[in-house]
A = this chain, B = another copy of it.
């Protein structure tokens, strides 16, 4: 160990999914959208004015904030943007979870929550999902320093009842409740209508899934102005210019095409429902998913072995070697054609297993 390491922070970072590249790969491992973004996004990138790249971007990202406010019918001072919902969440943890009381989140959820808590030394308690991987509302009515809930939850795909979410928000006026809605556009109810009623609610969403812009890194949060002001102050204490010009321009442009967005989500949901039927037919079980992935297990196939087998067939899914979920695979919904190939390969594998 070097002498200076005594003053260095020791952390165990989050491990993102693999990013394999190559022809013929079916990439169902990081919940990307199989369809391209709205053509307006690409056009905006190609049309960035030549003389602007040398200039700092607008630190308020006004064009993007304004487009989001328009889309969701909010005021501009109710919108915060960041480099993917990951940056929005990381800065929100830093801004709102500054307590000696532990923050609360489920034992099975987005695996970045404990990483951020550890990075910022925020005490936390994880609360077990029930046997069907559902959140138990009552668990979140205890004293705490903050709450973060993914809805739909990851990697399970389950959506909570909005009445339960509202109960949690209402019962915790002295805590900020972050509802992480990365997957909400694929069929779950959003907590956005509750923003008017609760000053302690922050709703976080992303352009990475439903808007097919994972490569652009755009996420956002919506909350009442005081919440957004405090989050912005933390952002301006971290990096004045988090959003580069391409992200601001292409992100704002993508929002203009509401019909394209709705159609893309509809296609993903249709294929998800088809995939559910097929997986059931093959003997898989899974929580009912409202996301662009299915979290599936099979009584006769070990998830880890199936994960490795699928890779040999150029199909990448996600496996988490963690308690309670180490016999599950998280399978992103790709195109209909990709899912047909997947089902075909799964069918072959299961028939091999039975021999």
Contact = CB atoms under 8 A, between A and B. Distances in A.
Interface of A: 2-16, 19, 27, 30, 32-37, 41-42, 45-46, 48, 50-59, 83-84, 86-87, 90, 94-99, 101, 115-116, 118-119, 145-146, 173-176, 199-200, 208, 212-217, 226, 230, 232-247, 250
Copies in the complex: 2
Contacts of A35: 54
Contacts of A98: 7-9
A215 B245 contact: yes
- Most B Cβ at <10 Å: residue of A35, A238, A246: A238
A119 B234 contact: yes
A64 to B, nearest CB: 13
A10 B229 CA distance: 11
7 contacts: A11-B233, A19-B55, A19-B56, A34-B54, A86-B239, A115-B237, A244-B244
Given A7-B99, A83-B242, A200 B2 contact: yes
A86 B14 CA distance: 22
Contact of A56 (B45, B101, B176, B208): B208
Contact of A45 (B11, B232, B246): B246
A14 B87 contact: no
Contacts of A250: 53
**Top 5 nearest A-B pairs by Cβ distance?**
A13-B236, A246-B246, A215-B245, A54-B212, A7-B99
- Most B Cβ at <10 Å: residue of A58, A118, A234, A240: A240
Nearest to A15: B236
A237 B13 contact: yes
Nearest to A235: B13
Contacts of A208: 56
Contacts of A234: 9, 11, 13, 119
A103 to B, nearest CB: 9
A7 B145 CA distance: 7
A252 B191 CA distance: 41
A245 to B, nearest CB: 4
A296 B87 CA distance: 38
A30 B46 CA distance: 26
B4 A200 contact: yes
- Most B Cβ at <10 Å: residue of A3, A97, A241, A250: A241
Contact of A214 (B14, B45, B56, B145): B56
Contacts of A226: 2, 5
